[in-house]
Chains A and B, each alone.
Chain A
């Protein structure tokens, strides 16, 4: 979650679970499967997680590069994807950006969340008041499940 100072536009909170796990996973955590509902045909998904351990790094710079203190906390959130603006089939074999294939729905998403850190309590506005700059749902396969061989297609 990225929170800003309205007057200056400066970022003042960056809540994420980054702990640079030795395998190199980027800000990725396991969450209970029970919290996820998907109706891909309808372009709908709901993801709910509770008490996810995070740190408030203050800024993205600090989260990415370090150098300043961070504050531990937990966040609970619910994200809902809905609607279908359009569907796209992607088979991306680009050596930089690709290595996966799937069907995607470009749509909208909304979120509500709460967080508690050592210093602050955060309670977002209701889900219905939020909007997405970009959102997509997909069913994809990559790596081991995407041999870049046309025989799979």
Chain B
């Protein structure tokens, strides 16, 4: 996530609210997302009740070979979030404090004890259009990459060991 864009989005969120046509976040993030989340939650109620969290591992493969069959217990999101982007449970610490203070919480899960990393990274990427074969070199700016590795208390109330990433 590029926090310059997030700053713009924060303004848009305020605009939406002030315009009076977006009264709750689920509507703001789109009806499609809301319906899909609600439907998914209902359909997966049994699994969620058991505290089994599968989406994060759904397609992650170890060593590029075999589907990872492990199940991870979902962590609990941090209770707060960047002012203006609530209820997104994330902060954007920035050196100049222009978004959130540099000492703001850098991770997205709570009840956690372990190693963490955060980086906003710039570079370039070569993009190939699969349909036309066109190749372009494009800038990548401010990609927000984070990790959390340690022990955490999951949604089941128990302590687990695990690793997570914000991509």
* Partner-B contacts on A (CB < 8 A): 1-6, 11-13, 15-17, 19-36, 38, 40, 45, 47, 49-54, 59-61, 63-67, 74-77, 79, 81, 88, 90, 92, 96-100, 102, 109-111, 113, 118-125, 129-145
Contacts and interface: CB of A to CB of B under 8 A. Distances in A.
Interface residues of B, number: 99
A24 B89 contact: yes
B19 interface: no
Nearest to A97: B104
Contact of A133 (B75, B120, B166): B120
B165 interface: yes
B39 to A, nearest CB: 11
Interface of B: 1-2, 5-6, 8-9, 12-13, 28-33, 37, 40-41, 48, 53, 55-64, 68, 72, 74-81, 83, 87-91, 93-95, 100-101, 103-131, 138-145, 147, 149, 151, 153, 155, 161-167
Contact of B48 (A22, A63, A77): A22
B12 A61 contact: yes
Nearest to B28: A65
A81 B89 CA distance: 24
Question: Which of B56, B72, B120, B166 has most chain A Cβ within 10 Å?
Answer: B56
A66 B64 CA distance: 31
A39 to B, nearest CB: 10
Contacts of A12: 138
A33 to B, nearest CB: 4
Contact of B138 (A5, A17, A19, A31): A5
Contact of B122 (A26, A28, A51, A132): A132
